A and B are shown apart, each in its own frame.
Chain A
Amino acid sequence: MHVTVDLAKCQDHGQCVIAAPAVFSLNDDGHLEYDGNPDDSERSYVEDAADVCPAQAIFIKD
């Protein structure tokens, strides 16, 4: 699966990190880092992350 985050919209709240910690993380400066091509086993977690994002900045492509 392929994940993209609109970094212009992302506000680094970190809700995606809670939902899918294997895919999303915050670095020491508090900014988002993520794996754009996670394993398919992460799908339901990434979908939760996209749903919960307060800025609705996460997009999933198959």
Chain B
Amino acid sequence: MSSATVGSVPAFAVTDPGFSITSAEVHAARERSWYATTEYGLAVLRYEQVNRLLKHPKLRQGSAAWPAHNGVTEGPFADWFAGWILNKEGEEHHRLRRLMNPAFSNKLIGGLVPRFQALAAELIDGFAEPGRCEFVGEFAEPYAARVIAIMLGLPESEWKVIATESATIGLALGVTILDDLPRIEAALAHLYEYCDELIADRRASPRDDFVTTLVNASRPEDGRLSDTELRDAMVLLIFGGFDTTRNQLGLAMQTFMAHPDQWRLLAERPELGGNAVEEVMRVNPTVRWVTREVLEDFEYEGVELAAGTTVHLYSESAGTDPRVFEPGFDITAERKPHFGFGGGVHHCLGHFVARSDMSEALPLLARRMLDPHELPGATWLPDSGNTGPITLPIGFTPAP
């Protein structure tokens, strides 16, 4: 970056535990400059620039080197991470994406909507006490994990395995990855066992479902998914779909509790469920930043971007950019798209599932839980990277 501009460019201390990516400091910086500098590299703050850099051919997805940066260069976890579609680029990535896409298509997921609805109703019926719940433990977590069990065709009673092993693999994204490696690799091995059984079962007796669609995926020039690619894809569904959905549901409750009129509207008009998901993900996305890495030196809007620079695209900052959006939270508004599912060639593979399951859950919750309000005791992940509530006690009036 050119030193001449550094004086007027905001700088964030992102690794400071007190840093909040949705703070007034970040929003004020956005009014001064389209980007800020951080310990990692660059933070992009405005809608237009996030939109362009998200899809820019001179940037690649930014997490591929993470295990190596932390001293993990070989073994089952390093192999899985390297094989993960998110960390592939070019033709190798495109082949996997073409073969995996049909299993994640809207058509296949549409048939699961009645099961999502039944699941949401069952969980609300099962709250331990009338008029209050611990929203993450009693709803968001089992809902997110059981949606994945439904997708994979696993018994829904196995949901705790999904939740536990996925959380353990999630430790790999923390700075203690090297210490946690034995546990992470044991969790991966456990999930592989499940996946291998499912693959063998669907080969022997195909069904009209997600795993069968993956197993049978083939294109003349792409061949088929190998056994390793199949189980990597399934672990990706578990790992990529569980935490994110749980966190996003908790964040949705946070936003709606601050906008009770919108919650009442959603209860009255459940067909707004889809819009509600988009509006929540615009102003309160769980994926607070999308990571990219500069592939080759180039100039963008007067800034020299050097190869290897990490670029974080700030989704909430872009989603509330006053150059593009009227202020406020309104589930009836027509808005430009948010960046809560990333974008470009790495656009979230599971977004149809996430959109569908959350747009069923939220109106049901709104109809059953009137006037929700936060009770003391909530705990939160840091407000950067991927965020959301760890626990979220909520009081409400049960619907008559």
Measured CA separation A55–B57 after assembly (Å)? 20
0/1 per residue, B39-68, Cβ < 8 Å to A? Answer: 000000000000110011100000000000
Residues of B contacting A55 with CB < 8 Å?
337
Please tell me if B237 contacts chain A, counting CB pairs below 8 Å: no
Measured CA separation A15–B105 after assembly (Å)? 13
Please tell me if A52 contacts chain B, counting CB pairs below 8 Å: yes
0/1 per residue, A24-45, Cβ < 8 Å to B? Answer: 0010001000000000000000
Please tell me if B398 contacts chain A, counting CB pairs below 8 Å: no
Measured CA separation A13–B347 after assembly (Å)? 7
Measured CA separation A11–B341 after assembly (Å)? 13
* Closest partner residue, chain A, to B93 (CB atom): A18
Please tell me if A4 contacts chain B, counting CB pairs below 8 Å: no
* Closest partner residue, chain A, to B51 (CB atom): A11
Q: How many residues of B contact A (CB 8 A)?
A: 20
Residues of A contacting B55 with CB < 8 Å?
12-14, 30
Contact of A54 among B57, B98, B107, B341 (CB under 8 A): B341
B102 pairs with A15, CB closer than 8 A: no
0/1 per residue, B149-168, Cβ < 8 Å to A? Answer: 00000000000000000000
Measured CA separation A19–B337 after assembly (Å)? 22
A18 pairs with B98, CB closer than 8 A: yes
Task: Given the known inter-chain contacts A30-B56, A51-B107, A54-B351, please indicate yes or no for A14 contacting B345, CB distance below 8 A.
Answer: yes
Measured CA separation A25–B347 after assembly (Å)? 17
Q: How many residues of A contact B (CB 8 A)?
A: 15
Measured CA separation A11–B101 after assembly (Å)? 18
Shortest A42–chain B CB gap in Å is 13
Please tell me if B97 contacts chain A, counting CB pairs below 8 Å: yes
Residues of B contacting A51 with CB < 8 Å?
101-102, 105-107
Please tell me if B382 contacts chain A, counting CB pairs below 8 Å: no
Please tell me if A48 contacts chain B, counting CB pairs below 8 Å: yes
Residues of B contacting A12 with CB < 8 Å?
55
Please tell me if B94 contacts chain A, counting CB pairs below 8 Å: yes
Shortest A19–chain B CB gap in Å is 6
What 5 A-B pairs are tightest by C-beta distance, nearest first?
Answer: A18-B94, A52-B101, A51-B105, A13-B347, A54-B347
6 A-B pairs whose Cβ atoms sit less than 8 Å apart in the complex:
A11-B343, A30-B56, A30-B57, A48-B102, A54-B341, A56-B106
